[in-house]
Amino acid sequence: MGNEIKIGISSCVLGENVRFDSGHKISKFVTKELSPYFEFVPVCPEVGAGMSVPRPTIRLVSNEERIALVETKDPTQDHTEQMVSYSKQKVAQLQGEQLCGYVVCAKSPTCGMERVKVYKKAGAVNEGVGLYTQELMSSMPWLPIEEDGRLNDPILKENFITRVYTLNDFYTSMEGEPTRGKIVAFHSRYKLTLMAHHPESYKSLGSLVAHIGDYGMDEFYNLYREGLMKALAHRASRKNNTNVLMHLQGYFKRNLDKPQKQELRQTIDDYRVGLLPLLAPLTLIKHYLSAHPDSYIEQQAYLQPYPQELRLRYGL
């Protein structure tokens, strides 16, 4: 397995001319900033399901029991079955690709992740999920999925990239052959990350790992992977990050003199109240760590969740 991290993506977001009007919805962030790090696996469900380019526009309509995908101008042209069966087949194929994330096209009746327009008798409501993305989410509940537009938000972007790198690290650590020992070792490196993202999951996953003997390997692997990725989908709050930083500070108690302790405390506090970005206390902690090595802290993924060159923590 190379270090190419595979990410699924809506073809139009990559700049392919596959939209109904023969256009695309290229994301500069994806093509410029992410492409050096990831190998993209482009999918356009509409073209994949056999629709033409260009093609009539389609939309989701709700009639009592089911949500259907029909042509806007001629609702008798129903593409639901064809889309659902294509999505099932495509997603099953992608299961073998070991994807670590997926970027979908917002508001699309096939690819949208949330707030997709659904037309009802009384008018349209923004409460749908694209049919293809729906299948993706239910078949791979652990997979980090984000919409192209939302990746312009520094906090959502950082959270998505953290999840992608975590899942990739998880797969790499398993070396194609999950064992209880490998999962315990992985969990130990992600304790602070979990504490920052979702303290409740930190506790529940800790308890799951403690009772590892009660499960078959496959069941445990699936429970852990899903629990881990759902925990990280919670964004790390300033309050939780501050708790983790104070926890880290405790490891240096014996090694730092009074002014150093004071400086570290002050920097953490300045982050807590929003005067400094997260990078400031982390840089100081890494500096003290190089002077006073500690093997447990050095292996914590929290200190370096992804390549520094992505410059994602500047805005946090």
Residue 96: φ, ψ to 5°: -80, -10
Six-digit token pair at 293? Answer: 């090595």
Q: Where are the alpha helices (DSSP H) in 211-237?
A: 217-232
Q: What is the pLDDT of residue 253?
A: 87
For 176-195, the pLDDT digits (tens) are 999 999 999 999 999 999 99
Strand runs (DSSP E) across the chain, as ranges?
5-10, 38-43, 58-63, 66-71, 101-104, 116-120, 123-128, 145-147
The low-confidence residues of the chain, meaning pLDDT below 70, are 1-3
3-state secondary structure of 302: helix
Measured CA distances, 92 to 1, 53, 87, 226, 316 (Å):
20, 25, 8, 18, 37
What's the burial of 83, exposed, middle or buried (CB within 10 Å: 0-12/13-18/19+)?
buried
Q: What percent of the chain has pLDDT over 70?
A: 99
Q: What is the pLDDT of residue 2?
A: 43
CA separation for the pair 140, 144 (Å, rounded):
9
Residue 108: φ, ψ to 5°: -75, 140
Q: What is the pLDDT of residue 138?
A: 97
Six-digit token pair at 88? Answer: 């099932």
Of 296, 6, 1, 2, the closest CA to residue 167 belongs to 6
DSSP 237: P
Q: Are 34 and 72 in contact (CB under 8 A)?
A: no
